[in-house]
Amino acid sequence: GFEAKTIDDKKIALKGRKAQALLTCLAMSPGEVWSRDKLMGLLWSDRGDEQARGSLRQTLSELRKAFSKLGENPLLAERDSISLDAKRVESDVARFINYAADGSPASLEQATQLYKGDLLDGFGVTDVAFEEWLNIERGSLNERAQTVMSALSDHQKTSGDFEKATITCRKRLAIDPLQEIVHRDLMSLYVAQGDRSMALKQYQ
């Protein structure tokens, strides 16, 4: 789902779904500059240029008001572009991507713990362009999560930590239960731990 809060755990209240969606886009990679035209096309693709521009201005105003109530304003709005101050904002998505890119066993474990499922699961905005973008982002993060967990379980098996490897494989199957190779890995891990009954159950 969607959640935004300050470093001292105060909730940033945003009532509008478009405001939440806008903040999501900007926070996926703090510091990344988005053109106003791109954001308009993503969130108000069914409106004319002037109407979409006005809706963007109104939504930015909602974000500023929500931030100002907390004494913060990480928004960097220029004439043609918008971004968030990378020094003042972080997101779980950006942290996940950084851990995944690092590739060390400790970072892979951190990335695995961060990944809870589909990006913005249950979140909807009535705009086809945004839904298409969200589906692409979900697929990309899901694929990266599977790669991370595969590398982590390989490391855990190699180091003889079969219990942790089992947990990692189970998490992979919770994300996508149709991965035959992961089912086979899980069966092998149960056998390695002397639990043939669980191996047979997994096979069934």
pLDDT at 124: 81
pLDDT at 15: 85
- pTM of the complete model: 0.86
Query: Up-side HSE of residue 20: CA atoms within 13 Å toward CB?
Result: 17
pLDDT at 73: 87
Question: Which pair of tokens denotes residue 180?
Answer: 């035959």
CA distance 10 to 72: 12
Provide the CA 144 distance to its chain's centre, in angstroms: 11
pLDDT at 139: 94
Beta strand extents in the chain (DSSP E only) = 34-35, 75-77, 81-84
Place of tokens 């969607």: 2
pLDDT at 8: 86
Angle at 49 between CA 18 and CA 128, to 5 degrees: 45
Question: Which pair of tokens denotes residue 161?
Answer: 């930590």
10-residue averages of pLDDT along the chain (204 residues): 88 90 93 95 93 95 90 89 93 95 96 94 89 94 96 95 95 92 95 94 93
Each residue of 126-135: pLDDT tens digit? 899 999 999 9
Question: Which pair of tokens denotes residue 117?
Answer: 């499922």
Q: Could you give the 3-state DSSP secondary structure of residue 5? A: strand
pLDDT at 70: 83
What are 35's strand-pairing partners? 81
